[in-house]
Amino acid sequence: MRISKRIREIEKMIPTESIVADIGCDHAYLDVLAVKNKRALKSYACEVAVGPLERAKNTIQLYHCEDQVIPILSNGLERVPNDANVCVIAGMGFETMRTILNDHDLSQFSMMILQPNCDVDLLRRWLIEHDWFITDEKMVHEGHYYTILAAMKGNDEYSEEDYVFGKFLHDETFKKYWMFRKERIEQILPQLNDEKLIKEFSHLLQMIENKL
């Protein structure tokens, strides 16, 4: 099984003896890896679409995980069994993720591990505003830059800078990402005409320069 660095890093954030609900599991590599590594006792591989769920079933059979990885056709958390205590949602846009999180009661989960494909700042804001305390973050570079967040119930205070950069990321990957963003903004800024956009991008550029 060729598993991406991104999936491996997500899996490492799962606490041992968890019962995972992997929402939007697609191929279910994460679920299989988590039970094979004995990190998860069980994993519910949840998918809204039939094609990806079939892919998940094939992976589960191939790696003989039928007793521990249970495929479920589910829109978001709709059909997640009550014993799941860790929710993973990865590899989708923030808007889809927000719909899933807003539409369901999350009280059964002691932890959520989330990796949106974009708008990480908006996800941080959503978590803090909904009384989730961000406990860890990891940034992975694999073609794109991906941020993975772990959160538990609790309160925290975030400044505007914290929402943009997070509180946990300081490594080389993080620095390279923000250098890359800085260069992109410097390229597009002279081409903009919209005053509001110019103001927003200039402000972000200033924040990045202060941070780096």
Between 6 and 124, name the residue whose CB sits nearer to ligand SAM.
Answer: 6
Q: Is 49 a binder of ligand SAM (CB under 6 A)?
A: yes
Q: How far is the CB of 56 from ligand SAM (least distance, A)?
A: 9
Nearer to ligand SAM, 43 or 68 (CB): 43
Q: Is 3 in the site for ligand SAM (CB under 6 A)?
A: no
Pairwise CA distance, residues 83 & 159, whole Å:
35
CA-to-CA distance for 47 and 34, rounded, in angstroms? 17
Can residue 52 be called a binding residue for ligand SAM (CB under 6 A)? yes
Interface mask (CB under 6 A) for ligand SAM, residues 98-137, using x and -?
Answer: --x-------------------------------------
Q: Does 24 bind ligand SAM (CB under 6 A)?
A: yes
- As measured in angstroms, the least distance from the Cβ of 46 to ligand SAM is 6
Contact range with ligand SAM by CB under 6 A, out of 24-32, 61-69, 167-175, 190-198: 24-32
Taking the C-alpha atoms of residue 157 and residue 163, their distance in angstroms, rounded to an integer, is: 10
31 binds ligand SAM (CB under 6 A): no
DSSP-derived secondary structure for the chain:
----HHHHHHHHTSPTTEEEEEET-TT-HHHHHHHHTTSEEEEEEEESSHHHHHHHHHHHHHTT-TTTEEEEE-STTTT--TT--EEEEEEE-HHHHHHHHHHS--TT-SEEEEEESS-HHHHHHHHHHTTEEEEEEEEEEESEEEEEEEEEE------HHHHHH-SS--SHHHHHHHHHHHHHHHHHGGG---HHHHHHHHHHHHHHHHH-
Q: Residue 96 corresponds to which tokens in the numbers above? A: 């889809």
**Closer residue to ligand SAM in complex, CB, 26/137:** 26
Report if residue 91 touches ligand SAM, rule: CB under 6 A. Answer: yes
Asked if residue 76 binds ligand SAM (CB under 6 A), the reply is yes
85 binds ligand SAM (CB under 6 A): no
72 near ligand SAM, judged by CB under 6 A: no
Which residue, chain included where needed, has tokens 């889809």? Answer: 96
* Residue with Cβ nearer ligand SAM (49 or 62): 49
Chain residues binding ligand SAM by CB under 6 A are 7, 23-26, 46-49, 52, 75-76, 90-92, 96, 100
